[in-house]
Structure 1
Amino acid sequence: MSSAPGFLINCWHAIVLSFWLLIFKGLNRVKVIGSKNIPRKGEPGVMLLYNHISAIDPFLVGVTAMPFFSPIWWRAPAKEELFDFPIIRNIIASWGAFPVSRGKRDLKAITKMTALLQNSVVLIAPEGTRSTTGQLQKGKSGVGKIIYDARPKSIIPVRMRGVERILPKGSIFPRIGKTTEITFGAPLDMNRFYALPESIETSRKIVDAVMEAIGRL
Structure 2
Amino acid sequence: MFYWFLKFVAIGPVVKLVFRPRVEGVHHIPRTGAAILASNHLSAADWVFMPLSLRRRVTFLAKAEYFTGTGLKGFLQRAFFSGAGQVPIDRSSASAAENAILTGLRILREGKVLGIYPEGTRSPDGRLFRGKTGVARMALETGAPVVPVAMVYRPRRLPLIGRRLPRVSVRFGEPLDFSRYEGLAGDRFVERSITDEIMYEIMTLSAQEYVDVYGATVKKSMDATGATASEVVSKLQPPADEAGDRAPESLAG
Normalised by the shorter chain, which TM-score bucket?
Answer: 0.7 to 0.9
* 189-198 or 107-116, which deviates more: 189-198
- AA partner of residue 77 (structure 1): L
Please tell me whether Structure 1 or Structure 2 has the larger radius of gyration of its CA atoms: 2
Q: 2:79 aligns with which of 71, 85, 90?
A: 90
**Match of 2:216?**
none
Shift of 1:16: 0.8
5 Å-filtered alignment, 1:141-156, equals 141-152=133-144, 154-156=145-147
Q: Report the TM-score when normalising by structure 1.
A: 0.78
Shift of 1:57: 0.9
Q: 2:59 aligns with which of 75, 80, 92?
A: 75
**Match of 1:209?**
197
**Match of 1:30?**
21
Measured in 2, the distance between the counterparts of 1:89 and 1:113 equals: 20
Secondary structure of 1:62 counterpart: helix
Check if 1:20 corresponds to 2:11. Answer: yes
5 Å-filtered alignment, 1:131-142, equals 131-142=123-134
Measured in 2, the distance between the counterparts of 1:193 and 1:89 equals: 39
Q: 2:122 aligns with which of 123, 126, 130?
A: 130
- The sequence identity of aligned pairs, in percent, is 28
- AA partner of residue 148 (structure 2): P
Measured in 1, the distance between the counterparts of 2:172 and 2:21 equals: 13
How much is the aligned-residue C-alpha RMSD, in angstroms? Answer: 2.3
**Match of 1:186?**
174
Measured in 2, the distance between the counterparts of 1:133 and 1:94 equals: 31
Q: Report the TM-score when normalising by structure 2.
A: 0.68
Shift of 1:158: 0.4
Unaligned 5+ segments in structure 2 are 157-162, 206-253
Deviation string, structure 1 residues 69-120 (Cα, Å, up to 9, x no partner): 3xxx321011122222142223201211112244765212211110111221
Unaligned 5+ segments in structure 1 are 1-8, 167-174
Shift of 1:176: 7.8
**Match of 1:48?**
37
Measured in 2, the distance between the counterparts of 1:26 and 1:197 equals: 44
Secondary structure of 1:162 counterpart: strand
Measured in 2, the distance between the counterparts of 1:93 and 1:55 equals: 17
Q: 1:118 aligns with which of 99, 102, 109?
A: 109
Measured in 2, the distance between the counterparts of 1:187 and 1:32 equals: 16
8 Å contact 1:27–1:176 — kept in the other structure? no
Measured in 1, the distance between the counterparts of 2:180 and 2:134 equals: 18
- AA partner of residue 18 (structure 2): L
8 Å contact 1:115–1:150 — kept in the other structure? no
Q: Report the number of matched residues.
A: 190
Secondary structure of 2:131 counterpart: coil
Shift of 1:195: 5.2
- AA partner of residue 25 (structure 2): G
**Match of 1:107?**
98
